[in-house]
Structure 1
Amino acid sequence: MNLKKTISFICCVTNEALFKRCCAHIEQLYMPSGYQSEIVPVRGAVSMTAGYNSGMNQAVGQYKVYLHQDSFILNQSFLYDLLFIFQNNKNLGLLGVIGTRKLPFHGMWWLSDYKFKVGKIIEVRDTFKQTIFVDTTYMYEKVACIDGLLMVTQYDLTWPEEAITGWHFYDTAQSLQYAKEGYDVGVAHQSSPWVIHYCESSTMKGYYEALPAFQQWRKQLT
């Protein structure tokens, strides 16, 4: 495969039925001329950061799409949109579909003030709903952090697997790493939501358990 002409989709897999649906949506995307895609499943990962490092090291594409197995891409022009945004913004390192311009001190981006939240998504948790925050500017809006349901990179940075274990705060941590390296972190402009997220209902217990390690890592980062 041609590195510069490949788009890699990386996914940690724990549910084969969801992953199959995720792949079906990927396979329906329009492919830009001269490009190809690959799907890199990671099974048996001990954490999201460890899984994504494994996938990153296996993938051949310059552009890498890290997505949840329950994130289904609706925008069939997704690949065209990604290439247009990245190729016109060389300083953009990390792109998502929702996030916040101001990260709260505790690191839970979704608890930031509504006026700072950016992007669009269709979410199925206990019920179907479309979530629309502040709309983005042309191409993308620069933010402090994006949500991990879909994260696209133009350049590789190692995920902090030694510090960020488990399944929480990996997205916030990676957003902060890209910003520290001088790259923009952005939320893409979407005329309608690009992704539908079939996420299971969850409690905040896991986040609170992971919070001390994340906050300690964040102090060391700065």
Structure 2
Amino acid sequence: MISIIICSRSAEMLSSAAQSIEATIGLPYQIIDIDNSKGTYSIFQAYNLGISKSQFNVLCFMHEDVGFITNGWGEKVVNAFQNNPKLGLLGVAGSSYKSLLPSGWSFSTATDKTLYMNVVQHYKADGSSIHDYSNPRNESLSKVAAVDGVWFCTTREVVNQIKFDDTVFNGFHCYDVDFSLSVLQKYDVAVTYEVLLNHFSEGSFNDGWLSDTIKLHNKWKNVLPVNLNNLSADAIALEETKAFYAILPKLAGKRQLCLDALKVIWKSNVIARVGIKMFTRMNLLLLKKSLE
């Protein structure tokens, strides 16, 4: 009943993920392994290829560094879509506010009221782990603007209309936010608290991520920001400012990326959100970072 699509680079990690799925899913499934050990595909291409090979009406896209804690999670996913006809995308982490300024689905300093998470995150550096849990509305299913790509599920109806954008993007970043925003134009996007999993590695924020994030914001400039929590104007200004300061250190010494970020700022009309003083400061700081 669920087609599980994995873009794989490690046979060992894929085998571990497959064993975890077998032990916990609780209903019929297929695993579609897109072998990307040689870097043949972007993740957008890999996931679209997985869609073409899928058999079932519910499709799950997941990293191979995942292990499931919840038993019977497959039925919970199927029931979520059956019980919520407008639901088009389901994840385990997401945000109800997607900023106008460049960021991922969220950022570390975002306000707790916009963060929706239920993941056990592991850290390779020191071997520690933490249960990242945030449920501002105390719900079992919460609507969000975008979900994290570690694990998310959708339906045949959705993928018959919406694919992963392998024209604009050709790397391994922003597929989750871009797909979320595409789905959000017609359906609800949500985080479930009925599925808990282990994520055994952290994400990376390299130059590829920066470049693709800027592409993402250029693509969706007429849709962003997405504000599902009805944040006040002051709260929006604060979130946009925090998004800016979250990405700023990553741009140090990267002249072209700083200039590209400046173009996003000018195209986004963020001045109306943060005011002329902060807008001017953003411009000056980006110019300064480009020279470091």
Q: Same fold (TM over 0.5)?
A: yes
The answer to whether the 8 Å contact 2:90/2:190 transfers is: yes
Q: Which has the larger radius of gyration?
A: 2
Q: Does 1:150 align with 2:151?
A: yes
CA–CA separation in structure 1 for the residues paired with 2:83 and 2:31: 25
Q: Does 1:159 align with 2:164?
A: yes
- Structure-1 residue corresponding to 2:114: 116
Secondary structure of 2:221's aligned partner: helix
The answer to whether the 8 Å contact 1:97/1:188 transfers is: yes
Match for 1:174: what amino acid?
A: F
Q: Post-superposition shift, 1:71?
A: 1.5
The answer to whether the 8 Å contact 1:136/1:188 transfers is: no
Where does 1:1-222 land on structure 2 (aligned, <5 Å)? Answer: 6-32=1-27, 36-44=28-36, 45-105=40-100, 106-111=102-107, 112-125=110-123, 126=125, 127-135=128-136, 137-154=138-155, 155-156=158-159, 157-180=162-185, 182-190=186-194, 194-200=196-202, 202-219=204-221
Structure number with higher helix proportion: 2
CA–CA separation in structure 1 for the residues paired with 2:174 and 2:55: 26
Runs (5+) with no aligned partner, structure 2: 225-292
CA–CA separation in structure 1 for the residues paired with 2:136 and 2:223: 30
Q: Post-superposition shift, 1:72?
A: 1.5
CA–CA separation in structure 2 for the residues paired with 1:55 and 1:184: 23
The answer to whether the 8 Å contact 1:136/1:187 transfers is: no
CA–CA separation in structure 2 for the residues paired with 1:10 and 1:163: 21
CA–CA separation in structure 2 for the residues paired with 1:162 and 1:202: 22
Identity among equivalent pairs (%) = 22
Give the TM-score normalised by structure 2.
0.68
CA–CA separation in structure 1 for the residues paired with 2:117 and 2:213: 25
Structure number with higher strand proportion: 1
Deviations 1:113-165 (A, max 9, x none): 33200021001123222111225554410000000000100231211111122
When the two chains are superposed, the root-mean-square deviation of aligned CA atoms in Å is 1.9
The answer to whether the 8 Å contact 2:63/2:151 transfers is: yes
Secondary structure of 2:178's aligned partner: helix
Using a 3 Å threshold, how does the CA distance of structure 1 residues 40 and 93 change in structure 2: closer, same or farther? same
Runs (5+) with no aligned partner, structure 1: 1-5
Deviations 1:54-85 (A, max 9, x none): 00010111100100011222211101111221
- Structure-2 residue corresponding to 1:3: none
